[in-house]
Structure 1
Amino acid sequence: MTLLDSRGMTVSTHSREALQQYEQAVELSAGYYVDPMATIRVALDADPDFAMGHCLRAALVVMSTDRSMVPMLGASVEAAEAIGRRANDRERMHAAAARKWLQGDFAASVRAYGDIVVEYPRDLLALQVAHVGDFLMGSSTMLRDRIAHVLPYWDNSVPGYGFVLGMHAFGLEECAAYSQAEDTGRRALAINPRDPWAVHAVAHVMEMTGRVREGIDWLTSREDHWAHDNGFAFHNWWHLALYYLDTGDVGRVFELFDRRIRPVASAVPMEMIDASALLWRLHLRDIDVGPRWLELAQSWEAFAEQAYYAFNDVHAVMAFVGAGRFDLAQRTIAALERKATGTDTNAMMSRDVGLPLAQALLAFGMDRYNDVINLLAPVRTIAHRFGGSHAQRDLVHLTLVEAALRSGNARLARALAAERTQLKPASPCNWQLTARALDLAGDSMGAVKAHEKAEIRRKVQLGLRQVA
């Protein structure tokens, strides 16, 4: 007897227990709840030849970007392939897509998961992996369009519809369709209030549009839904910390870092990325973070020469530079240089973005600010090629404007600050950068009058009052 999952997809198992555990693991994965890996192990114990069970385990490794889990990926792919014709066509497509990731062809792997979605638009697992893959590749339009492909096949009657809307909301936000993204994210949460990805999508809207006070209220008022037993909570806490950083509330930022973002030492790449990104933002403001850099650098040290995923490597370099471990930063850069000579997806990501960005971070740590400018100026327009979101990649621009300020390049600093205030005129941080650029310029910019400086300072104070 052929069994179907809850969305009508055929599966190769004849074990209802295995299917039940698989279904639970898919939902845990889609909602970033804990622990889908443990749940799928139960399914495979019930049926070791359950192809989709092995494919789900492979998918979890793909989305982790953790090289230490590659042996598990290899074992899962081989187990699925060994089942042969007893697996159905969809399951074999999953195994082939995961195999491409294992081989280092990340871009082809994401396309292959996308092909599954076209053929089987209600395959929630393939949809999530393709969506996360688009994020890892920095493919903003596909974050939006990949989900749009399947929307005609989903509605409230299909389990998991809220997750699909949450993914679409994030894709819309990354394409600057902010109003539509917020509406879609709220629709997703009306179906499933415990979807942290939908919460995250709306938080991104508020971050990108400078709605700091609303963003704080948005996350804190929904904390009971997204902050407990969820593997994605640290990232939403990170977003909350960004809001507080924009207001200048450094004490609250440190509290969130210590209690929520990095309460214990962790070697999970996604968690370390957020820790590095937040501490680097503080570093750019000349704020002493105490021993936090040293602990984080110790956790990143095992990754120094992996060159597995350039986005991770750059965040490792942030920690090494922050901790004064220039030796580890140089080892990571050497690994990126070796990787950049290759032909796989990460070679391109390392060559185009990861390597020059890592070199710029090290130059910043050595006070070579003109070198930072020269390295980052060509990268800033193509930084999406190594993945992440607009909010995460904002570190490139923040580092560049800070380098311009510290190098004494008043006109470049003023130009870069103007970019930021045009995009987010409600951000106190952006107006503070503008004020610093004008102070640096002094009387050298004749068009800048005293009253203009006074107006900028008024906007800084107004922004701070609005978020108080």
Structure 2
Amino acid sequence: MTRDHHGLEMTGASAAAADLYQTARERFHCYAGDSFSPLKAALSDSPGFVMAHALKAWMTLVAANTEVAAMGLHALETARGLPMNTREAGHVAALDRLVAGEVQAAARIMTEVSREHPHDVLALQVGQTLDFLLGDAHGLHDRIAAALPAWSPDRPEWHAIQGLLAFGLEETGRYEEAEAAGRWSVALEPTNNWGQHAVAHVMVMQGRHADGVRWMRHENTAWQPEAQLGVHNWWHTALFHLGLGETDAALELYDGPLYGEGSTFAFDMVDAAALLWRLHLLGVDCGERWGALADNFAREPRGQSAFVDVHAMMAFVGAGRETETTALLEAQSAALRGPGDNAGFVRDAGLPACEAIRAFGDGDYARAARLLGDARDRLHRFGGSHAQRDVLDLTLIAAAGRAGDARLETALRAERAGAIPLPGYARRAM
């Protein structure tokens, strides 16, 4: 039986295919470089290599577009019919639950796999991704922390573990430890986009905008070439420039590495919409950027992810697409009656947030503030990070101010200041 460098069995793999798979997996850990070519070569060599099919599914079923997700569905279908051990069967079962829209069940299965096999770095990575989709901050940390006793710095892929740990620590408010782990990850592997991103999250949450620009653009630039997470990391960089009041720099990044090519990948569109909406709150004219982004959102199905739908609503409102905003709300209404976890995500967070954004666009600021205020304690339930969901807090504060509710605006700003420093540009705008 072929094994990886942690001693985990890899059913159906030749030694050559196992090496190729390991290259693909390590690039996937870093979200950097070409993961598909070595994975394709591994499957060409060993068509019955079940974990190679599982990796392909994990890489293509989350946050992609319809065309790429179809590749993941085919990989999963192939994997189902192959011989596999219990660990590998756990990956396939979790992918089945994910495809069925049962994200919580998929996350539980990956927790079980990680407990039995704490050196399965892929299980830890995709498990944390599922926690992210659920907005489960404690899961983001606890999943990795539970595996740490089985790890040591001399093991391969220690940099990946530190990057995962850093993000979990940041989302649970342990900023100093998070930054240390993220910097260690990047020191060991400078191309590790996830570790780079975790440190950026710390700096966003602490309002360290100048430090953030230095970190992303000068201290370590190895993450930038061939970055699979490039759009998101450039989004963080743009937020730091916004925090310094440098709106031109933020727009330059948007037109360049962030969204210059106009991706239809779900999370790329999310980042693009979130940046343009922040600029919209400042009164910055984003011009035709809204229309191009709205076109891309319109090409993909709606009603499947409350988190993505909220950002689609930003794009449709920004572009003045009344027909699309109505269709999106109808898709969310249908999702409320649908299967899987998304029905609950829409009910608790997605629908009130979408309605609030539409009301804000219509100038009904009092309604926007009421909707977001009522749902505020539930907004984490549709996924994302604290930094990503912050756009809704900013919208709530802006809505309260524009509605003339000075008491609410003052209270919200004071409350928020205890969690995330309000950037100078936001204070000036509000």
Same fold (TM over 0.5): yes
- TM superposition shift of 1:33: 1.6
- Kept in 2, the 8 Å contact 1:55–1:94? The answer is yes
Question: Partner residue of 2:142?
Answer: 145
Question: Partner residue of 1:184?
Answer: 181
C-alpha separation between the residues in 1 aligned to 2:194 and 2:201? 10
Q: Please list, as runs of the form range in 1=range in 2, the aligned pairs for 1:182-331 lying within 5 A after superposition.
A: 182-303=179-300, 305-331=301-327
- Kept in 2, the 8 Å contact 1:211–1:426? The answer is no
Question: Partner residue of 1:352?
Answer: 348
Q: Does 2:389 align with 1:393?
A: yes
Structure 1 spans left out of the alignment, 5+ residues: 437-468
> Residue deviations 1:33-88, cap 9 Å, x none?
233233322211111111111111111123335444443333222211211xx322
- Kept in 2, the 8 Å contact 1:421–1:427? The answer is no
Question: Partner residue of 1:119?
Answer: 116
Question: Partner residue of 2:34?
Answer: 35
C-alpha separation between the residues in 1 aligned to 2:384 and 2:279? 20
Task: Give TM-score, length-normalised by structure 1.
Answer: 0.89
> Residue deviations 1:127-177, cap 9 Å, x none?
110011111110000101100011111122221111111111111100111
Question: Partner residue of 1:92?
Answer: 89
Question: Partner residue of 1:402?
Answer: 398
Question: Partner residue of 2:45?
Answer: 46
Task: Give TM-score, length-normalised by structure 2.
Answer: 0.96
C-alpha separation between the residues in 2 aligned to 1:374 and 1:401? 11
- Kept in 2, the 8 Å contact 1:25–1:39? The answer is yes
Q: Give SS of 2:87's match.
A: helix
> Residue deviations 1:208-241, cap 9 Å, x none?
0111111111111245211111111221111111
- TM superposition shift of 1:273: 0.8
- Kept in 2, the 8 Å contact 1:246–1:427? The answer is yes
- Kept in 1, the 8 Å contact 2:12–2:48? The answer is yes
Q: Does 2:362 align with 1:366?
A: yes
> Residue deviations 1:97-121, cap 9 Å, x none?
1111111111101111121111111
Compared CA separation, residues 205 and 293, structure 1 to 2 (3 A): same
> Residue deviations 1:317-338, cap 9 Å, x none?
1101000002101111110111
- Which structure has the larger Rg over C-alpha atoms? 1
Structure 2 spans left out of the alignment, 5+ residues: none
- Kept in 1, the 8 Å contact 2:32–2:223? The answer is no
Question: Partner residue of 1:24?
Answer: 23
- Kept in 1, the 8 Å contact 2:101–2:339? The answer is no
Q: Give SS of 1:230's match.
A: coil
Q: Give SS of 2:295's match.
A: helix
Count matched residues.
430
- Kept in 2, the 8 Å contact 1:424–1:430? The answer is no
- Kept in 2, the 8 Å contact 1:314–1:358? The answer is yes
Q: Percent identity?
A: 39
Give the root-mean-square deviation of aligned CA atoms: 1.5
> Residue deviations 1:293-318, cap 9 Å, x none?
01101111123x53111111111111
- The letter of the residue matching 1:175 is T
- TM superposition shift of 1:425: 4.6
Work out which structure has the larger RCO, using CA pairs closer than 8 Å and 6 or more positions apart in sequence.
2
- TM superposition shift of 1:430: 5.0
